[in-house]
């Protein structure tokens, strides 16, 4: 903890903020990709200390928020079947499907368990040979290695009652989708530190060059975030479209090669629907043919799911940074964490929930 305390040190943060004020001469729009960063910014009140010329917009890096409605509905359909134990990270239980959510399904008697790791779900499968155990494998590159590992372990244990419902997404295609949008305002990215810890940052060089945009790998503590913003503004002010690493205590250019190998052994790149945004080609991971046995979508007959997405919530625009959470007419009035209209208000990493929880609708950066 002492180690982390140094990255929360008020004096160090204020020195870095003072430097940021000195070097910021032009208005800049910077997107932090990861919902964890959004929450840290709001939780620490960092947004109130930044120069007025810097606008932070909040990216789509919340795995709960972007899991497609179709997959949530499939999860509900599987979890409702008898003899199924449906395992999920807790945050997914409140995310709405077309009719109902996993919390409601659990209240009506379905066997739905919150687990902290897919390895726990594998254990549950071992302990319950008469039940089908399904894990809702959501997340970015950060959860992909352990979710893949659970498949490898189930395979080694020859478990025929374990499968995963895959909703893995990857960051770089989403960044390209945002940059290619006619609505794009983003001039630089703070890349998500934990994703880069797994994947490295070599893949960002081509994006920086193609879209002429600086990308800075950034961590999550207040000092990490200020240092990331500082490097980004420095590059922007100099007109340099480079990739830099402001989280070098965790991230290397190559990343965690062993974890990448596990991902590549089990998963392949597939097209993926992002909730609120739409289909982004090759932006997801799906199980390779040799692991199809562990694919819940193939194990259960859930092909005929019809989804219905309402049009009240604009969380898709929030997820790509074109609208700030508190600029939504529903924010804080008909849409609250207790009565969420969209996943961005549900998830602990969602931008709307960060605004509601910490800023009560007031953000000095806008």
Partner 1 sequence: MINDLPNLTNPVCAVPHSHNDYIVMGHGSGGGMTHNLIQKVFAPHFTNSSLDANNDFGIVENTGKNRLAISTDAHIVSPLFFPGGDIGRLAVCGTVNDVSMSGAEVIGLTASFIIEEGFPIKDLERIAISMSIAAKEAGVKIVSGDTKVVERGKADGVFISTSGIGYIPEGTDIGGANAKPGDAVIISGTVGDHGMAVLTARGDLGLETQIRSDVAPLNGLIHSLLLEIPDVHVLRDPTRGGLATTLNEIATQSEVNITINEASIPLNPEVSSTCELLGFDPLYVANEGKLILILPDTMAEKALRILKNHQYGREAVKIGMVLPDPQKRVLLRTRIGSNRILDVMTGEMLPRIC
Q: Which is nearer to partner 1, 64 or 216 (CB)?
A: 64
188's enclosing H/E stretch is: strand 188-192
Nearer to partner 1, 264 or 348 (CB): 348
Residue 99 CB, shortest distance to partner 1, in Å, is 8
Of residues 224 and 236, the one with the C-beta less far from partner 1? 224
Among residues 23 and 334, whose Cβ is nearest to partner 1? 334
Q: In the complex, what is the shortest distance from the CB of residue 292 to partner 1, in angstroms, rounded to a whole number?
A: 25
Please state the closest distance from residue 288 (CB atom) to partner 1, in A.
21
Q: How far apart are the first and last CA of the chain?
A: 33
Q: How far is the CB of 342 from partner 1 (least distance, A)?
A: 4
Residue 303 has what DSSP assignment?
A: T
Q: What are the Cα distances from residue 280, in Å, to 175, 185, 303?
A: 10, 19, 21
- What's the DSSP call for residue 243? E
- H-run or E-run covering 134: strand 132-139
Q: Find out whether 176 and 213 touch, Cβ atoms under 8 Å.
A: no
Residue 102 CB partners (closer than 8 Å, separation 6+) = 75, 76, 79, 86, 88, 92, 93, 94, 95, 112
Spatial neighbors of 1 by CB under 8 A, at least 6 apart, are none
CB of 84 to partner 1, least distance (A): 19
CB closer to partner 1 out of 82 and 239: 82
* Token output for 280: 């982004």
Spatial CB neighbours of 336, under 8 Å, sequence gap ≥ 6: 345, 356
Give φ, ψ of 312 to 5 degrees.
-75, -45
Which is closer to partner 1, CB of 235 or CB of 285?
285
Smallest separation, CB 244 to partner 1 (Å): 22
Q: How far is the CB of 320 from partner 1 (least distance, A)?
A: 6
Least spacing, CB of residue 135 vs partner 1, in Å: 13
CB count in 10 Å sphere of residue 50:
22
Q: What one-character DSSP code corresponds to residue 293? A: G
Nearer to partner 1, 167 or 299 (CB): 167
| Closer residue to partner 1, CB minimum distance, 99 or 238 | 99
Per-residue buried b or exposed e for 114-138, using 16+ beta carbons within 10 Å of the residue's own CB: ebebbbebbbbbeeeeeebbbbbbb
């Amino acid at each position: 903890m002492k180690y982390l305390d140094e990255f929360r040190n008020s004096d160090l943060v204020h020195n870095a903020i003072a430097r940021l004020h000195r070097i910021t001469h032009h208005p800049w729009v910077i997107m932090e990709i990861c919902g964890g960063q959004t929450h840290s910014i709001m939780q620490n009140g960092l947004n109130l200390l930044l120069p007025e010329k810097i606008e932070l917009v909040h990216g789509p890096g919340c795995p709960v928020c972007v899991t497609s409605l179709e997959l949530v509905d499939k999860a509900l359909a599987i979890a409702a079947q008898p003899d199924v134990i449906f395992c999920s990270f807790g945050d997914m239980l409140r995310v709405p499907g077309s009719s109902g959510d996993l919390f409601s399904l659990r209240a009506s008697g379905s066997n739905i368990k919150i687990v902290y790791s897919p390895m726990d779900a594998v254990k549950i499968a071992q302990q319950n040979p008469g039940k089908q155990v399904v894990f809702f494998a959501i997340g970015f590159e950060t959860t992909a290695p352990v979710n893949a590992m659970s498949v490898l372990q189930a395979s080694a244990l020859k478990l025929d009652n374990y499968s995963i419902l895959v909703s893995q997404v990857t960051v770089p295609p989403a960044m390209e989708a945002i940059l290619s949008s006619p609505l794009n305002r983003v001039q630089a990215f703070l890349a998500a530190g934990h994703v880069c810890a797994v994947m490295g940052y070599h893949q960002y060089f081509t994006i920086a060059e193609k879209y002429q945009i600086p990308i800075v790998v950034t961590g999550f503590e207040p000092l990490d975030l200020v240092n990331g913003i500082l490097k980004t503004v420095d590059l922007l002010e100099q007109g340099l479209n480079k990739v830099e690493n402001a989280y070098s205590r965790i991230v290397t250019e190559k990343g965690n090669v062993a974890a990448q190998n596990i991902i590549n052994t089990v998963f392949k790149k597939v097209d993926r629907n992002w909730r609120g945004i739409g289909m982004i080609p090759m932006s997801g991971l799906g199980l390779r043919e040799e692991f199809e046995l562990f694919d819940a979508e193939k194990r259960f007959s859930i092909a005929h799911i019809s989804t219905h997405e309402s049009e009240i919530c604009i969380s898709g625009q929030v997820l790509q940074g074109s609208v700030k959470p508190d600029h939504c007419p529903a924010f804080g009035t008909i849409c609250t964490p207790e009565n969420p209209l969209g996943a961005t208000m549900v998830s602990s990493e969602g931008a709307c929930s960060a605004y509601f929880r910490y800023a009560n609708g007031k953000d000095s950066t806008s």
